[in-house]
Amino acid sequence: MKRSAATCALALGSIVIGLLAVGSSSCSSEPSGGTLDRIRASGKLRWGGDMQGGEPYVSEDPNRPGKLVGFEVDLAEAIAREMGVRAEFVQNDWSNLVPSLERGTFDIAMNGLEVTKARVGRVLFTRPYYIFQMRLMARHGDARVRPSLRSLRGLRVGTLANSQSWEALQDTGAEVLPYEGVEEPYIDLEVSRTDAVLLDHIIADRYGVPHTKLRVVGDLGEGYYSIAVRRGDDGLRTALDRALEAISKRGALRRILRKHGIDDAAQARLATWSDTDTTRMISERAAAQRAAGGTQADVKKPFTWHHFMLFLQGALVTLVVSTAAMALAIPLGILLALARLYLPRTPFAWIAGAYVEVFRGTPVLLQLYLLYYGLPGLWEGLKLDAWTAAIVGLGLNYAAYEAEIYRGGILAVPKGQLEAAWSLGMSTPLAVRRVILPQAFRIALPGVTNDYIALLKDSSLVSVITVVELTKRMTITAVDVRSWLVPGLLCALLYFSMSYPLSILARKLEARLHGESR
């Protein structure tokens, strides 16, 4: 058994090392050139977006469940009408829109997708349908944050991962915190977890400005929202460009923008936008990409030693968070189990039972959101930093599972053991500590080990509160190197390398405890 597991680990490691040697490769096949014909034949233009991006992009109408609203919803319908088809929305995580587009999940990606240097060459972009500004916000009275990227050096700055703002912040010397939602960065900024937020001005105006403790510092650069299509689908891009041009010239695009309150003077340029402007837009991003060491035509980038070191750093974060959370879960779980078994018909037993049912019956992701973002809304003094919230949140959740494991272990100890301890003059607390718990621990050990291994994997959820652990590092790197294969295999190998030694240690400890009990 040990030999087969070791062989499996060795084989997996060999595969990853071999792939690292040859570099990352794209796992998606080149799409055929018949996408436009297929769209016309089916009568559907399938567009990918993420409802989590919220208003005014695409979101669910609160008054009509299931009905989508947003300026991109209206735009998609207008484009589809120009093409003689109907629009069909496909829900997809925003950070994975491009990979999903490449694998054919939908025909186009349109959800505030910015023309960035990382995306140029990987997908084809149409003419823009919106011009935005990167807007910097900070707290009132914080004079450190000025309207320049240079002023952010050494500060904690929040933004969306893989966005244009994310790229702009990489070489500033700032500690850049990646978020998955648009409201969370401003919540953290308001309660002083971060020093600034750099995001598109649409997002800043809708989600940042309403926070009275925050101020707009300034705009640090222009950007464009464009529709992305797969490489090779030039015919589809041409059809989309024609539809956008027609919509823009007759004023329909500006009417959609005004309807959703996001029209401004900069959008007047869209009506006179030309193919030359599109070429210039792409060329500017391609030049920035070449300056960063890539080329416009290259879809592959090497997985470097730097990436590997970042993976090790992410693995260390995962290990520390998981171990600290388990160190909290074990003693709390023991107390909950003892309260339910030895304090019956008391408030302590009722509280312990309610705790177990609530924490087992609700998702740990929801608990992390409430702990990190919800508590400061009740009282600012309850503000927790990301690491503390991650450890406490996972620890509290797993304590409920540990409580049931220990309760089962204690119940498995023969009742005569406790009676024998009483006959020797031991009090119940002393008998539980010296006689019952050691035997229960031996019984519960496999379950505890299993929980810790599960916790190592569940720690990936803490990325939603800005902790960059192993899985989050993998997703960031996958976008950077434009491949999910090598980063995914290396991530799996590191998780296995952390969990398998624990399994071996637990089996040895089980054997030792079993020998002592005999």
Inform me whether the pLDDT recorded for 29 exceeds 50. no
State whether 497 and 452 are in the same domain: yes
pLDDT-based confidence at 25, cuts 50/70/90?
Answer: very low
- Look up the domain containing 425 and give its range: 305-517
Q: Is 152 left (phi over 0), alpha (psi -120 to 50) or beta?
A: alpha
Percentage of the chain surpassing pLDDT 70?
A: 88
CA 34 – CA 82 distance, rounded (Å)? 19
Higher local confidence (pLDDT), 518 or 166: 166
Regarding beta strands 68-69 and 59-60, do their DSSP bridges make them parallel or antiparallel, or are they unpaired?
antiparallel
State whether 325 and 448 are in the same domain: yes
Q: Which of 33-42, 299-308, 336-345, 367-376 has the lowest mean pLDDT?
A: 299-308
Secondary structure (DSSP) of 406-457 = HHHHHHHS-HHHHHHHHHTT--HHHHIIIIIHHHHHHHHHHHHHHHHHHHHH
User: Which pLDDT value is given to residue 226?
Assistant: 96
Q: How many CB atoms lie within 10 A of CB 104?
A: 14
Q: Is residue 138 part of a domain?
A: yes
Inform me whether the pLDDT recorded for 72 exceeds 50. yes
**Structure-token match 């978020």, residue found:** 179
State whether 50 and 111 are in the same domain: yes
Q: Is residue 79 part of a domain?
A: yes
Q: Is residue 380 part of a domain?
A: yes
Please state the φ and ψ torsions of residue 34, each to the nearest 5 degrees.
-95, 20
C-alpha distances out from residue 150 to 169, 172, 173, 476, Å: 10, 6, 8, 24
**Structure-token match 């803490």, residue found:** 462
State whether 53 and 107 are in the same domain: yes
C-alpha distances out from residue 246 to 253, 273, 434, 474, Å: 9, 11, 82, 41
Inform me whether the pLDDT recorded for 337 exceeds 60. yes
**Contact yes or no for 306/454 (Cβ under 8 A):** no
**Structure-token match 């096949």, residue found:** 29
- Residue at a domain's end among 245, 268, 291: 291
> Which of 108, 325, 141 has the alpha carbon at shortest distance from 228?
108
Please report how the helices 347-361 and 386-412 are oriented relative to each other, as an axis angle in degrees rounded to 10: 120
State whether 342 and 252 are in the same domain: no
pLDDT, mean over the chain: 85
State whether 136 and 123 are in the same domain: no
**Contact yes or no for 457/495 (Cβ under 8 A):** yes
Number of domains in the chain: 3
State whether 322 and 273 are in the same domain: no
State whether 506 and 415 are in the same domain: yes
State whether 54 and 101 are in the same domain: yes
User: Which pLDDT value is given to residue 484?
Assistant: 75
Q: Which of 315-324, 343-352, 472-481, 491-500 has the lowest mean pLDDT?
A: 472-481
pLDDT tens track for 265-296: 999 999 999 989 888 888 877 776 555 554 44
CA 46 – CA 417 distance, rounded (Å)? 67
198 burial level (CB within 10 Å; 0-12, 13-18, 19+): buried
Highest mean pLDDT among 90-104, 240-254, 339-353: 240-254
pLDDT-based confidence at 482, cuts 50/70/90?
Answer: low
| CATH number of the domain that residue 64 is part of | 3.40.190.10
Q: Is residue 334 part of a domain?
A: yes
pLDDT tens track for 178-222: 888 888 899 999 989 999 999 999 999 999 999 999 999 999 999
Q: Is residue 230 part of a domain?
A: yes
Residue 274 in tokens: 């030309």
**Contact yes or no for 29/41 (Cβ under 8 A):** no
pLDDT tens track for 234-255: 999 999 999 999 999 999 999 9
User: Which pLDDT value is given to residue 305?
Assistant: 85
Q: Is residue 17 part of a domain?
A: no
State whether 188 and 327 are in the same domain: no
> Which of 92, 110, 69 has the alpha carbon at shortest distance from 225?
110
pTM for this structure? Answer: 0.76
State whether 141 and 92 are in the same domain: no
User: Which pLDDT value is given to residue 479?
Assistant: 67
- Residue at a domain's end among 238, 266, 291: 291
